[in-house]
Structure 1
Amino acid sequence: MDNSYFVYAENDIKIERFHICTWEFSNDKTLVEFGCEVNAESIANADGIEIKFFIPWLSSKATVTDFYSRLQDTSNSRFIFNDSIAYQKSLDGGENRNGVIQHFSGKNELCILPISFGKNFGEHKISVQVNLKIYNQFQHEQGKQKPNVYFRFCIDPNKSPVSVVKKGITRSTILYDIKLNQRRNIPEDLLNEILHHRLCTVETCFCFNIIPNTHDLVFVDNSTLKNVRTLEYQSFQKYLGEQLLKEEDLIVVFNKKEKLDSYTFFSIFTKEHIGIDQLTVALLVNLVAGILLFIASLDISLALANKSFSEIALPYTFWIVILLFGAMLIYYFIRKGNLNFTRKRKSL
C-alpha cells in the first residue's frame, strides 16, 4: 500500500509538529490519524487557512472524522500530548464548540480548533479548512504571543490495512513505509497543483504505529525510535470510543524526526503463528515422507525376493494412508480457497 503523503497550501504555512498515527487491530480494522500544530506567526492576521492533504489510498468508501470533540476534553489531550494540563480556556465562553486553549504544565499552550472538510476522494485529496476569526478575536494574555493552532482528524479507510501485509505459512509480516513531502514521489497528476501551491514546512514529524502485541518489532531506524510501550487501554478507549477500541493488548511504536525537508519512516513487524493450515501442511509432509519410505523399503524387499510389484498384495493400512493423504490435500486447498474468497469479500 502506497503511504506517500503530501501536505501543501497556497500560502507559506509552517507546521511545528506533524502527527501520523496508524492503528492496526486484530480484527483487520484500520484507522489513520493526522494532526497538525500550525505556527501562529505563519498565519498571523488570517481569517482562515486551508491545508490540503494528498493521501494515496483514500477512496470514496473512507470515513473522515474531526477529532476536535475528543481533544477539547482535557483528559484526552493529556495523553495525546503527553503532558498534564494546568488549566483550560474556552474561546466561546465555556461552550467549547469553537475552540479551547490547553495550558500544559511543561509545554507551551496550544489552541485546539474544530475543522471542516472539502473532500475530493476521487483524486485522493482532503482539504482542511480552519476558521480563525474567533481565535483572532479572543483576548489573549497581554505580553504573550498567540498560541499555536492544532487540529486533528481520523480516517477510517473501510478497506484492507494501509500497511503492507505478507502472510506466510508460519509467519505474517507487517511493513510500514511512510513518507511525507518527498518530492521525488509526487504523482504526475499532482505536479501541476503543487507548482501553484507550496509544500508546508514541517519542523518535526511524529510517527506512531499501533499494532497488536502479538507482533514483534524486527526492524526500525534506531536513530529515530523514541520508545515502545503498551497502549493505555482505559485512557484510549475513552479517546477512540468503545465501538472502535476493544479490550486487547496493543503496542505503540513511536518514531520522531525533525528539521528535514521531507520525512520517511520504515519499520517491519512479524508474527509467528501455528494454526490449522500449518498443522495440515506438517501432516501432509509426514504422510508423504512415510509413503516414500514405505515404497523404498518395499522395493528392497521385492528385489531380495525376486518379485515384481504386481505380484504382491499391499496392506490395507497403505491404502488408508493414501486416502487420508488425498482427503487432507483436498481439505487444504478448499480451506485456502475459502479464505481467499473471504478476504476478497472483505476488501470489496
Structure 2
Amino acid sequence: MRTVDDTLVPRRILLVSGLSGAGKSSILRILEDLDHEVIDNPPLGMLDDIVARAERPVAIGVDSRTRGFDASAVLEALARLRMNPNLRVELIYATAEESVLLRRYTATRRRHPLALHGSIKEGIEEETALTAPLRAAADLVIDTSDMPPPELRQFVESRFSPWEGAAGEGLTVALMSFAYPAGLPREADIVLDARFLRNPHYDPALAPKTGLDADVAAYVAEDSDYLPFLNQIHGLLQLVLPRFVQEGKKYATIAIGCSGGRHRSVTLVEALAKRLSAPDGMGNYQGSGQWPIMIMHRELARLGLGSWRWARKPADAPNTEPASPVS
C-alpha cells in the first residue's frame, strides 16, 4: 500500500446503497472508471472476504436485491470493517424523489424489485422504509432527482479520485456556484444567496463572460457589500467547518447561488477558495485546517466550460487536474 510521508494510507472501501432507480449502478460504473474494484450485490456474508482479498480500492453495491439483505446487518458489517485501521470505509446512499423514480420506471418499463405483485409506488415505499437506516448512517447521500448523467459523473469524480485514500480521514470541502432558477444543489450543506450584489449581466461588455474573468470579478467586487459578505461567509466557515470535523463529516458542500450561476456566485466561490487555500504568514490555513478544497461551478460545467478542480489538493494527489467529464 502506498504511503504519504511514510504514513500508511488507508485503503478506501465504499459500500454503495440506495433506492432502485436512483443511480446506484451508474455510481458503481463511475467508480470502476476511477480504478475501484466493483462488486455489485454480493451476499452480505462475503463482504469481509471480498475486502480481505482486494488489492485496490473497492466499491461494493448493497441494496434490497442483495441476498440476505437487512439494513442492520449492513450496518454491523460497516462497523466491523471500520475497526480495521488500514481501511477507510464509507457508506454512500443514492436517492431520488418518489415522483422522479416513478417517471424513470415508467419510461424504462422496468419492474421494481420489490413490486413483483404490486404497484411501483408500493415497491418504492417499501424499499424506502427498508433502507432508511442506511440513509441515516450514510457518509454521503447523493440525490439524483435533477442530476443529469454528466453532472453525476462530475460529482462522483470530485469526491472519489483515482488515488486511494488521498483525502485521508479528514474533511473534503467543496465550494459550488449555481443558478437559483436551475434548482438548489441537493448535496449542499450550506446555501448562500448572492443575488443582492450588482449584476454584470446588465453590462453588455460583461454579460457574455463569467466570474472567472478578471473584469467581471472586479465589477462584482466594486459592490460596497461584496467584501463584508465575503468576510461574513469566511467567518461562518471558520466556525462551522471544525465542528463538521468533530461530528465526523467527511464531505461539506458550500453552495453560493445567483440568478445565472455565471458571474456573482462564481466570483465569490473563487475568492473564498483563494482565502481558504492560502496559508497566512505563519503557515496556517485560514479557518480550513489542512483539508482538501475543491471548486465546482455547476452552471459553467453544464455549458461545457470546465469541470471541478482543486483549490488545495489532497496530500498525495497527482499534479494534473482531472479531465472534464462534460463534453
Query: Larger relative CO (CA 8 A, sep 6+): 1 or 2?
Result: 1
State which structure, 1 or 2, has the greater radius of gyration over its C-alpha atoms: 1
Report the TM-score range of the alignment, normalised by the length of the smaller protein: under 0.3
- Structure 1 length-normalised TM: 0.25
- Structure 2 length-normalised TM: 0.26
| Larger helix percent | 2
